[in-house]
Every structure is written in C-alpha cells, then in structure tokens.
Structure 1
Amino acid sequence: MPTAPGSQAQPLDLQRLWRNRPFRSFWLANLMSNLGTSAFVMAMTWLTVKTYGAHGIALLALGYGIPQCLLQVFGGATTDRVPRRLLFLRTQSALLLVASLLLLATTRGMVPLWLLVGVNACNGVISAFDTPARTALISEMVEREELVVAQQVYSVASNVTNVFGPALGGVLLSIGSGDRSHEELAFLFNVLSFLPLLACIPWLPRTPAPGGSASRPALWRSIREGLSYVRRQRPLRLLLQLLALVMLLGLPFQTLLPIFVHDHASMASNHSTY
C-alpha cells in the first residue's frame, strides 16, 4: 500500500538531524548546561529562603524578572544584528564568570542578600541576550526543512532538565554531614556544566551577522517593527498572551514553593528536593 506523502519525513529528518555533529554536540552540551542551571536556581533559592526569608525571595525574583522584562526585546534585536556565535560565546563566558563569583563567595561563607540579588540581576541581564542567541543558533546548524524538528528536539532538553535539575540540586544540597545544606556543591556543578557548552562552540558554524550593515535598520526601528508585526499577526499575538498567562499563574507557585517547604513543612536539607 502506498504511503501518504511525507508520512515518513519526520523520522528521516530526526535521523539526519542526529547525524549533524554541530547540532548533536550543541544539544548534549545544552542538556548538561540546563541541568546545572536548574540545580543552581534551586540551590540559590533555598539559600535565600533559609537565610533571608520571604522578602529575600521577593527581591531575588525582582532582580531577575525586571531585566528580563526590559531587555528581552533588545536581546532579540541584537541577535539579528551581530554574529550569533560570537554573542553566544560572550554571554556564556559572562554567565560562567557570575556563577564562579557566587561559588567563591559561598565557599568563604560570604553571601549577603545584596550579592544574591545582584547575581540574579546579572543573570537576568545576560540571559536576555543569551536566550535569543542560543535559539537563533539552531537555524544556522540545520537546513530550513529540518528547523521545526530541530526546535522540537531542542525543547526536549529543557523539559528533561526542568524535571531532573531541581531534584539533582536537592541531592547536592543533602550531601555531607549534619543538617547544614551544601549549596556550594550545586554552585560548583553549575560552573562545571558551562564547560561542555563552551567546548562545543568551535563546532558551531561561523556565519556573519544577518543582513548587511547598509540595509540594517536602527536598533529602535527594529524593535518597533518587531512589536508592530506581533500586533498584526493574531495567532502570534494570542500565543504570546497565552504564554504570559501561564507565566503569570505558574511562576508565583514556583517562587512560593520553597517558602512553603521551609516554613510549613519544616524540612531539613536532605529533604529539599522539592
């Protein structure tokens, strides 16, 4: 019996995609990096709530959220104007530096609230440029017809790490003797998780900045054109509104959960794999 056209296209595309060495290396390195990031966020949140309480968590969330809200559009516009590989290298190096500074401060027992909020704010600023650069790199590693499958495969790494990353962070917190949690182990794992991603950057394609400098509009004009395009495209606008609603309803739960565990469940560090 003849098969419908394109009925076997996705499995074939997936096999060819996995034979793509730059994409395969990038995916595996991202998996490790996302695990480290999830463990880092969990450990920093736990350190903040047990030391500074609910007001510390509020400041921590604001430190990350405000730069994200203000700079995401600039990050997207910048990604369209500079070589993405170079931008990604710089953002990853900056994130590694920030993570290393927090690890050093934690091992010395010097973690004031302003440092935690400052680290999270730096992560928010850098991630506003890192996330669009990371996503845009996928389009430079695969063919156009493989892009949808590549984005789906890439999202698997994020979903897996959202499940196992916090649990891994809790396990790292519980390692050691006594009731003291060991945030520095989770911070160390996060620092080490950057290395595979930095090591795979030489395998990424060297492509020039999108478009020519002569035909490229000004930064503010690019942002206005992007926002105008979203307003005109009803499906895209509805999708963004739905995403905003999910984040509005879901993120407070993630923020308040460690406070609930600490204040109401009276859980020790070896039970912190919430």
Structure 2
Amino acid sequence: MQSPPSPVPRPRFAWASRNFRIQTAATVIGGLGNAGAPIATAFAVLEGGGSTTEVGYVTAARLLPTVLLLVLGGALADRLPRHHVMVGANLFSAAAQAALAAVVLTGGAPLWQLMLLSAAGGAGYAFYAPAAGGMVLESVAPEHAARAFSVYRMGLNAAQIGGAALGGALTAAVGPGWVLALDAGCFLVAAALRFLLETVPPVAAAAGGGMLRDLREGWQEFASRRWLWVIVLQFSVLVACISAVEAVYGPIVAKERLGGARDWGLAMAAYGVGLVATGVLMARWQPRRILLVGNWGVFLFGVPALALAVSAPLPVLAASMFLSGVGVTVFGVNWMIALQQEIPPEAFSRVAAYDEFGSLSLAPLGTALAGPAAGLFGLSGALWACAALSFLLSAVVLLEPQVRRLTRRPTAGPTAADAQGAPRTATAPTL
C-alpha cells in the first residue's frame, strides 16, 4: 500500500502578499533616510549659529503643513489608488529634501529657507502617511493583521536604528547636508519600489460623492468611537511634548553636555533597538485588552525627558530611549489592531488621517514654544514638565471605560464597539 504523500511545508511568510513585501521594503529604505534627517536638520541650524528657539521654529515649520493637510491626504487615499498617492508624495519629498540639502551644503542658509523647505517635506508626509496605513491594512487578511503590523514595524524600526546611528555619525563626520541628500535618495528609491505595487481599486471612489462628503463620513466614523478620540486627545499633548524633547531639547543637551551629533544618533539608535526588540514580542503576543495594554506602553514615553533633565550619561540616556522604543511598539501594534478591527476598510485612510491630524495638532506649537519655555523655566525645568505631562496623561486616559475594555475579537465575531453599544456606520472589515 502506497503511503500518502507528505504535506508540502508552507513558506514561513506565506501570509505576506507581494504588496506587503514591497511596501515593507520601501518603508525600510525610506526609514533609513528619515531617521537621520531630523538629527541633520537640528544640527544644521545649530552649526549655522542658530539658537534653541530657531531649532524649534524649523521643526514647527515641518509639522504645521503636515497637520493642515493630513485630512485632505486621507480623503485622497480613500478615493485614489493608494500606491499612486504614495509615489507622488515620495517624489515630492525627495525634491524637498534635495533642495534642503543643497542650501545646507552651500552654507549660510537663512532661517526662512530652512523653514520653507522643511515645510515642503512636511506637506509630502501629510499625503503619504494615510495612504501607507491603508496599504498595509489591505495587503493582508485580518487574521494575520497582528503579525503583519509587527513585522512591518520591525522593518521600519530596524531602519530607525541604522538610520539614526548613521545619520548622527555622518552629521558629525561630513556635515548635515550630506545626510539630507541621502534622505532625498532614499525617497527616490522608495518611490521606485512603490511604483511596482499592484493597484487595489479604491472603495470610496466607487461609491460616488464629493470630497466634502468623504470628509464628513470619515469624521462620523472617527467621532462615533469614544475610545478613539479620547486617545487622540491624549496624544495631541503627548506628541507636542515628545516632539520638543526629541527634535529640540535632545540635540541641545547632546551638543552642550554630551558628544554632539554622534552621541544623539547613538541614543536614537537605542530607541530603535527598543522598537525592534519589542516587535519580535508583539508578533507573537496577542493581549486581550488591546488598548489597556497599549496604554501601559505609553507610560514609558516620558522616560527620555527624565534622563535628559538630570543630565544622565550616554549609557543611561540610551537605556531610557530603549524603554521609550519598547513603549512605542507596545502601543503602536495594539493601536493598529484596534483600528483594523473597528474601522471599515473603505474609510480607513480618512480615519487614520483624523487620528494623525489630532495627534499632531499641537506638535508645531510645542516645538515652536520649546525655546521660549527653556528660557523661562531653564532647560531642565522644561524637560521635567514634559516628563510630568507624559506620565499624567497616561494615567488620565485610563479613566475612560472604553479604553480599558476594548477587546480583541475573532475575525468573524461581533465588534467590541458593537458590544459596548458604540455607533457604527459600516460593517467590520472583511479582506
């Protein structure tokens, strides 16, 4: 009697579609340049004789158009093929970073030029980000979402490690202009890869209606979920504090008390190690209370501000950045699972845009006021305030029952929002 044939083993990443692999590869390449660019921009201002306040102004100039244009970017990403939106945004960002690199390399760039070109880069991100989240969502089946988000973030976070360390080292060795030029090149390569993505027809476009109707429907999806807008309100203040710490105070402390760009790049690389190490855990761990667990990670966001406030040596600062990276991944993966589980796919990019719009809304103000706050309270005082606000907000948001109770559900089961009686305007995602 002939024995039955042995089953053919499935490839380890059989769940990862071609689009997911390409998008992840493009994200890794783009992330290499993006991780070093903020370091280079901050030190370009400082090496040109700029002050703490001017570093804050340049950072705010980048964030402001992102905030203003995110909602429009989300609407376009739900109406047009998402990879077309991403390619266009990447090409625009490449041009903006190349122009910024040119003015820095030629020397003596006035503040207004740095702010204008930084703003152009922020505008490119506003159109890229909502489309990118939607592309990952539609590239995998719901039962593989946790694994996909973890792998995707591990790739991005690995690029954060290499890009931050390389960006800091290159800024110290050859100057910030070449790091910005490298970022422009990474954007070009990422755009070329995303050009190869297969088109997925946009659901919202087929339904008809104008842009204002799309925005209104996206807002209804966003506002009908209390857990969603409560956390976005939390992050509006939290991100303002983190942006001030990472984009303004961190480089200043590194320049005045540590070894400059190289040491700040190493600290940011330690942050990336925390992101990647926790990504391995999150690919396997599936906590039941997804937002409750995610918010425990948010408590770690304020640790770097404490280390900078007490002028901790580089190893302690690196450890604090590592812990912050752990918290970001714990929150980020659980947050994406919550969105994937609760938001209809045809509205995902618009809801993600409202999410990021709200989360970033105060970031330009936070970075613009970072310099004056340091002048008023002292650098250490401003850092202590950022840390205190981070911890306080992490505690306050747990007062919302939906944040504590939102539960991971089986793919085909009823949604947590349905169980809580929260209004829904569409069925759960089915991919």
TM-score (norm 2): 0.54
Residue aligned with 1:80, SS: helix
CA distance in 2, matches of 1:128, 1:13: 36
| 1:157 match | 155
CA deviation string 1:113-150 (max 9, x = no partner)? 11111111111111111101112122343334333432
2:29 counterpart letter in structure 1: M
Match of 1:32 among 19, 24, 29: 29
CA distance in 2, matches of 1:81, 1:166: 35
CA distance in 1, matches of 2:101, 2:172: 17
| 1:5 match | none
CA distance in 2, matches of 1:226, 1:21: 28
Structure 1 unmatched runs, 5+: 1-11, 177-181
Residue aligned with 1:208, SS: coil
Query: Is the Cα–Cα contact under 8 Å of residues 99 and 187 in structure 1 kept in the other structure?
Result: yes
Query: Is the Cα–Cα contact under 8 Å of residues 101 and 181 in structure 2 kept in the other structure?
Result: yes
| 1:234 match | 226
Distance apart, 1:271 and its partner CA = 4.7
1:197 counterpart letter in structure 2: A
Distance apart, 1:258 and its partner CA = 1.2
Q: 1:23–1:109: structure 2 CA closer, same or farther, 3 Å change rule?
A: same
Q: 1:266–1:150: structure 2 CA closer, same or farther, 3 Å change rule?
A: closer
2:226 counterpart letter in structure 1: R
Residue aligned with 1:207, SS: coil
| 1:3 match | none
| 1:217 match | 209
Residue aligned with 2:209, SS: coil
Distance apart, 1:23 and its partner CA = 1.9
| 1:8 match | none
| 2:192 match | 199
Q: 1:270–1:204: structure 2 CA closer, same or farther, 3 Å change rule?
A: closer
1:78 counterpart letter in structure 2: L
Query: Is the Cα–Cα contact under 8 Å of residues 102 and 187 in structure 1 kept in the other structure?
Result: yes
CA deviation string 1:133-169 (max 9, x = no partner)? 1121223433343334322221223333444432221
Kindly report the root-mean-square deviation, in angstroms, between the aligned alpha carbons of the 2 structures. 2.5
- Is 1:42 the counterpart of 2:60? The answer is no
> 1:62-77 counterparts in 2 under 5 A?
62-77=60-75
> 1:133-152 counterparts in 2 under 5 A?
133-152=131-150
Query: 43-52 vs 215-224, which deviates more?
Result: 215-224
CA deviation string 1:36-56 (max 9, x = no partner)? 011111101111133211221
1:22 counterpart letter in structure 2: N
CA distance in 2, matches of 1:137, 1:95: 19
CA distance in 2, matches of 1:196, 1:120: 20
Match of 1:97 among 86, 95, 98: 95
| 1:107 match | 105
1:43 counterpart letter in structure 2: A
Query: Is the Cα–Cα contact under 8 Å of residues 250 and 264 in structure 2 kept in the other structure?
Result: no
Query: Is the Cα–Cα contact under 8 Å of residues 20 and 139 in structure 2 kept in the other structure?
Result: yes
Query: Is the Cα–Cα contact under 8 Å of residues 174 and 271 in structure 1 kept in the other structure?
Result: no
Q: 1:267–1:33: structure 2 CA closer, same or farther, 3 Å change rule?
A: same
CA distance in 2, matches of 1:22, 1:271: 37
1:185 counterpart letter in structure 2: W
CA deviation string 1:85-132 (max 9, x = no partner)? 211111111011111112222332252211111111111111111101
TM-score (norm 1): 0.82
Distance apart, 1:58 and its partner CA = 2.1
Amino-acid identity (%)? 22
CA deviation string 1:181-204 (max 9, x = no partner)? x11221232122224312322431
- Is 1:259 the counterpart of 2:252? The answer is yes
Match of 2:238 among 241, 246, 259: 246
Query: Is the Cα–Cα contact under 8 Å of residues 254 and 260 in structure 2 kept in the other structure?
Result: no
CA distance in 1, matches of 2:168, 2:257: 15
Q: 1:240–1:47: structure 2 CA closer, same or farther, 3 Å change rule?
A: same
Q: 1:231–1:148: structure 2 CA closer, same or farther, 3 Å change rule?
A: same
| 1:127 match | 125
Structure 2 unmatched runs, 5+: 1-9, 268-431
Residue aligned with 1:60, SS: helix
Q: 1:223–1:212: structure 2 CA closer, same or farther, 3 Å change rule?
A: closer
Distance apart, 1:236 and its partner CA = 1.6
Aligned residue pairs total 255
Match of 2:15 among 17, 32, 45: 17
